[in-house]
């Protein structure tokens, strides 16, 4: 039976994503009503600049007083697409306290304070949904916390930032340097005027914290995620990767330890084999590769950012939350029962590709190999080239801990025959 009284929605933020959410709510109103079982009504839109013309939004709905909007008491769902920590955190908390459920796209806030927000939502028996916080339009959060809730997830590895993937893909396909590829991404609108959050891995790290928390039923905060940006990746690194049959991606990796007693979450550039599904993800697209005990290997792929893709995820959450509201129920909240410790980066075990500038004379390779052996790092392959007294030595290791590799590199730098460490790159996906 269709309910005639509409469910009222407050929209916090009306930028690229918020304006698209409002547009879809208006143009697809009849479909949304049919899917939910009741009409949904945009009851207010909180913005910073009220004088800006917003097509399709009645001026009387626009307000600069976001707090008053979420305190109204007749609001059923608050959609938060402001971003940042404050005032978003305070507004979401206030929304719960005044009877509204919340749909958010705020990855930074959820990575930092997700546990506290879930606690307030549970206290007031309200929903907190955030599919749009990770990977845009790609259905990922709900499959992890609902479809795979009966399985044991061991690893989540993915490309979760479209800007960095566009830049690295351009470097791979054209041979361009980092700055040249960044300039192209900026000109095409894929990179912000200040790309720091993307290229230094902050954006991906927030998403990794959310993914790890859901996948491993453990609270993982942004501070728990190891983060390394991609600004030091060079055309020479791509040339080395191609010689190994690999490419380079900025990856978010969340995994259980082999003994299952801890988890790790990290973001950094890595070489991956061209045979791996993530290697073929081009341009500004995102993809996440999930490994679970029963389900095996799963891959989620699609546009990871932008107004329409992100709005699609927001509207999907809106439908789910509104259905719950009509049924007098709530969806899944935080699941942190496992409470596994988060191990430091030093405990992470993987392969490494190390490029050294060395003196071109007899005995250098033996010295280098001895250092690796003394630190318990096994060498897989070595490639040496050089002339006129200078040489390049490329070492690819078997799996070793980050701590062991760090100790190895520190010792190598002390050798008189090693002029410098040109690059260190992790090798993943094998």
Which amino acids are annotated catalytic?
207
Nearest to 171 by CA among 257, 113, 237, 218: 237
Nearest to 114 by CA among 218, 8, 266: 218
Nearest to 79 by CA among 307, 308, 318: 318
Burial 259-297 (b: 16+ CB within 10 A, else e): eeebbbbbbbbbbbbeebebbebeebbbbbbbbbeeeee
Taking each helix axis from N to C end, the angle separating 402-413 and 364-374, rounded to the nearest 10 degrees, works out to: 140
The torsion defined by the Cα of 334, 288, 190 and 91, in degrees rounded to 10, comes to 0
Question: Angle CA(267)–CA(272)–CA(278) in degrees, nearest 5?
Answer: 80
> What is the rounded CA–CA span in Å between residue 290 and residue 426?
19
> What is the rounded CA–CA span in Å between residue 239 and residue 132?
36
Structure tokens given for 240: 């080395």
> What is the rounded CA–CA span in Å between residue 105 and residue 405?
37
β 263-273/296-303 pair status: unpaired
* 117: alpha, beta or left? (left if phi > 0; alpha if psi -120 to 50): alpha
Coil, strand or helix at 138 = coil
DSSP 59: G
Alpha-helical segments (H) within 188-254: 196-199, 202-216, 235-243
Write down how long the chain is.
Answer: 430
Give 188-195 contacts, CB < 8 A, sequence gap 24+.
190/162, 190/163, 190/166, 190/284, 191/163, 191/166, 191/167, 192/163, 195/163
Cβ–Cβ contacts within 10 Å for residue 222, how many? 22
First and final C-alpha spacing in the chain: 53
Contact 349, 401 (CB under 8 A): yes
> What is the rounded CA–CA span in Å between residue 223 and residue 113?
11
């Amino acid at each position: 039976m269709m309910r005639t009284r509409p469910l009222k929605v407050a929209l916090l933020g009306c930028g690229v994503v918020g304006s698209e959410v409002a547009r879809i709510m208006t143009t697809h109103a009849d479909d949304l009503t049919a899917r939910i079982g009741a009409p949904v009504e945009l009851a207010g839109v909180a913005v910073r600049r009220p004088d800006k013309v917003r097509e399709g939004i009645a001026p009387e709905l626009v307000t600069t007083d976001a707090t008053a909007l979420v305190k109204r008491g007749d609001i059923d769902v608050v959609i938060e697409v402001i971003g940042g920590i404050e005032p978003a955190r305070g507004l979401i908390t206030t929304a719960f306290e005044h009877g509204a459920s919340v749909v958010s796209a705020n990855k930074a806030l959820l990575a930092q304070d997700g546990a506290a927000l879930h606690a307030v939502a549970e206290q007031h028996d309200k929903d907190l949904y955030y599919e749009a916080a990770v990977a845009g339009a790609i259905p990922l959060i709900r499959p992890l916390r609902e479809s795979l809730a009966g399985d044991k997830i061991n690893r989540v590895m993915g490309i979760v930032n479209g800007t960095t993937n566009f830049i690295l893909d351009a470097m791979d396909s054209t041979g361009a340097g980092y700055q040249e590829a960044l300039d192209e991404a900026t000109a095409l609108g894929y990179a912000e005027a200040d790309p720091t959050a993307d290229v230094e891995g902050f954006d991906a790290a927030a998403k990794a914290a959310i993914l790890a928390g859901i996948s491993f039923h453990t609270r993982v905060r942004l501070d728990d995620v190891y983060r390394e940006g991609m600004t030091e990746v060079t055309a020479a690194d791509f040339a080395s990767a191609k010689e190994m049959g690999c490419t380079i991606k900025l990856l978010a990796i969340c995994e259980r330890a082999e003994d299952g007693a801890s988890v790790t979450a990290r973001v950094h550039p890595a070489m991956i084999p061209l045979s791996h599904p993530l290697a073929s993800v081009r341009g500004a697209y995102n993809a996440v590769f999930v490994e679970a005990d029963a389900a095996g290997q799963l891959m989620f792929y699609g546009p990871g950012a932008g107004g329409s893709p992100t709005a699609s995820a927001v509207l999907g959450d809106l439908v789910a939350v509104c259905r719950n509201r009509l049924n007098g129920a709530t969806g899944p909240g935080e699941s942190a029962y496992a409470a596994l410790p988060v191990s430091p980066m030093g405990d992470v075990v993987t392969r490494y590709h190390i490029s050294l500038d060395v003196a071109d004379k007899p005995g250098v390779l033996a010295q280098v190999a001895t250092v690796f052996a003394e630190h318990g790092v096994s060498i897989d392959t070595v490639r040496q080239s050089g002339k006129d007294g200078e040489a390049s030595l490329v070492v690819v290791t078997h799996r070793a801990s980050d701590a062991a590799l760090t100790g190895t590199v520190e010792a190598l730098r002390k050798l008189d025959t090693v002029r410098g460490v040109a690059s260190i790159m992790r090798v993943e996906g094998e």
